[in-house]
Amino acid sequence: MKRPLSITELTRAVKTALESSFPYPVEVSGEVSNFRPHYSGHAYFTLKDPFSQIDAVMWKSQVQQLKTPLQNGQQVIASGQITVYEKTGRYQLKVLNLRTAGQGDLQARFEALKHKLWEEGLFDESHKRPLPPYPRRIGLITSPTGAAVQDLIAVARRRNPSVELILRPTQVQGAAATPDLVQALQDLTRWGQVDALIIGRGGGSLEDLWAFNEEAVVRAIFACPLPVVSAVGHEVDTTLSDLVADCRAATPSAAAEMLIPPRQELQGQLAYYQERSVDLMQQRLRRHRQQLTALRDYHALQRPRWLLEQKRAQLQQLVQQQQQQFRWYLQQQRSQLLQRQDQLQALHPLRVLERGFVYIEQGQQPVSRRAQLQSGPARLHFADGPQNVILNLESEDV
């Protein structure tokens, strides 16, 4: 009976057969995609045409010899050796020489639309809206299942858990993504209960991010009356949505840091204004005291006694007026401080629970969607404390 081959033996046999079938050099043409600079200096990317694609690798020594920096969307002619990467069993092109053949279709469309919208003034700084300094509710337009939204939520909770995040789930890739993104912008604008919007997704190739380059999405962001922060892909990715938005963040997490100030910052400002108010009142008192002293001394030396008595009465009246103004000023400052204190208390997460909401955890993870619920142990957080329960989703009994 013939002994079966191991995976390693089979892979090596395929490697030998494939590499011997394509003697060096093999020359192919295609469009560069999925390229990102690697810290090692090597280049890892994909070469594709409308129907197929192949992984490609170019070592640092060859990358340094390129006359034109490698970038996504380039139409190139690459020559090299067909190899099989044994660890994954995937075949790839080890590129030893590469030259530019022109722009890819998507990159050409990107540049053409960018120029058109720039001519119309959609990217002008004069159209940019300022971000709210202390937003209380932020709308999120992104995929509900991606890592980007989880990172964003984690940053928001760390900086200020009192800021409410409203997620409008959307598709972020594919043909259906464009109308979904446009509708999401219109939905949150029509609702009118958010202070700003974050629109974005995690990284990807030019094709993956293309929905954020569609003209309909760009114009919807431009027409949105709310401040919009675009957070599409990674720092090296730039989309037309980034250019038209009021502000661009390198990542979704950076967008949260940009929009949500730390709670300690608000508390520090309240303390500063309180101290500043006391200093201003003390300065005003010293100034009036000096004026009163100078006025009293002047009349005592230059006027008769009867005039001095008359001026003393005027001074007493002035003192009373100043005291009344000072009391009124103190009352105004006290009211402002109490108002800021009430604002801080209203931002406390327990206030939300006291209005009848319940915070659910399963497996030490927060549950924000019905689809996340599973039968079994759960922990419900009420305003007066937590309660462990057992969920049975089939009968919908707790």
Q: Give per-residue pLDDT as tens, 204-240.
A: 777 889 999 999 999 999 999 999 999 997 666 789 9
* Residue 252 belongs to some domain of the structure: yes
Instruction: Check pLDDT > 60 for residue 302.
Output: no
Claim to verify: residue 207 and residue 296 sit in the same structural domain: no
Claim to verify: residue 157 and residue 284 sit in the same structural domain: no
Distance between CA atoms of residues 218 and 235, nearest Å: 19
SS3 297: helix
Asked if omega into 25 is within 30° of 0 (cis), the reply is: yes
CATH of the domain at 24: 2.40.50.140
Claim to verify: residue 134 and residue 232 sit in the same structural domain: yes
Q: Please report the pLDDT score of residue 104 as a whole number.
A: 67
pLDDT band at 394 (very low <50, low <70, confident <90, very high): confident
Query: Among the three residues 44, 71, 103, which one is the final residue of a domain in this structure?
Result: 103
Claim to verify: residue 136 and residue 239 sit in the same structural domain: yes
Q: Alpha helices of the chain — where are they, by DSSP H?
A: 7-21, 60-63, 105-120, 147-159, 177-191, 215-223, 240-244, 252-259, 263-302, 305-346, 349-354
pLDDT band at 381 (very low <50, low <70, confident <90, very high): confident
Claim to verify: residue 172 and residue 93 sit in the same structural domain: no
Distance between CA atoms of residues 246 and 135, nearest Å: 15
Claim to verify: residue 113 and residue 255 sit in the same structural domain: yes
**Among 65-69, 158-162, 249-253, which stretch is predicted with the lowest mean pLDDT?**
65-69
Q: What is the pLDDT of residues 269-290, one digit of tens each?
A: 777 778 888 888 888 888 888 8
* Residue 131 belongs to some domain of the structure: yes
Asked if 80 and 22 count as a contact pair (C-beta separation under 8 A), the reply is no
* Residue 397 belongs to some domain of the structure: no
Q: Please report the pLDDT score of residue 60 as a whole number.
A: 92
Query: Among the three residues 205, 230, 259, which one is the final residue of a domain in this structure?
Result: 259
* Residue 194 belongs to some domain of the structure: yes
- The arithmetic mean of pLDDT across residues 4-30, rounded, is 88
Distance spanning both ends of the chain, measured CA to CA: 60
Residue whose C-alpha is closest to residue 232's, from 346, 214, 219: 214
Claim to verify: residue 234 and residue 139 sit in the same structural domain: yes
- The string of DSSP letters for 325-357 reads HHHHHHHHHHHHHHHHHHHHHHTSHHHHHHTT-
* Residue 24 belongs to some domain of the structure: yes
Q: Please report the pLDDT score of residue 236 as a whole number.
A: 66
More confidently predicted of 161 and 310: 161
Q: Please report the pLDDT score of residue 140 as a whole number.
A: 97
Distances 311 to 9, 299, 326, 342, 395 between C-alpha atoms, Å: 112, 8, 22, 46, 88
pLDDT band at 304 (very low <50, low <70, confident <90, very high): low
Q: Please report the pLDDT score of residue 369 as a whole number.
A: 87
* Residue 298 belongs to some domain of the structure: yes
Instruction: Check pLDDT > 60 for residue 61.
Output: yes
* Residue 398 belongs to some domain of the structure: no
Claim to verify: residue 181 and residue 299 sit in the same structural domain: no
The parent domain of residue 65 ranges over 7-103
pLDDT band at 300 (very low <50, low <70, confident <90, very high): low
Claim to verify: residue 147 and residue 240 sit in the same structural domain: yes
- The string of DSSP letters for 202-237 reads ----TTTTGGGG-HHHHHHHHH-SS-EEEEES-TT-
SS3 24: coil
Q: What is the pLDDT of residues 153-198, one digit of tens each?
A: 999 999 999 999 999 999 999 889 999 999 999 999 999 999 999 9
* Residue 396 belongs to some domain of the structure: no
Claim to verify: residue 357 and residue 334 sit in the same structural domain: no
Q: Please report the pLDDT score of residue 68 as a whole number.
A: 76
Instruction: Check pLDDT > 60 for residue 396.
Output: no
Instruction: Check pLDDT > 70 for residue 102.
Output: no
Distance between CA atoms of residues 133 and 122, nearest Å: 24
Claim to verify: residue 161 and residue 222 sit in the same structural domain: yes
SS3 128: coil
Domain count, the chain: 4
**Among 27-41, 118-132, 325-339, which stretch is predicted with the lowest mean pLDDT?**
325-339
Q: Please report the pLDDT score of residue 114 as a whole number.
A: 92
- The arithmetic mean of pLDDT across residues 3-29, rounded, is 87
How many Å separate Cα 283 from the centre of its chain? Answer: 44
Claim to verify: residue 245 and residue 270 sit in the same structural domain: no
Q: Please report the pLDDT score of residue 270 as a whole number.
A: 76
Instruction: Check pLDDT > 90 for residue 47.
Output: yes
Q: Please report the pLDDT score of residue 392 as a whole number.
A: 86
Q: What is the pLDDT of residues 115-132, one digit of tens each?
A: 999 999 999 999 999 999
Instruction: Check pLDDT > 90 for residue 74.
Output: no
Q: Please report the pLDDT score of residue 3 as a whole number.
A: 84
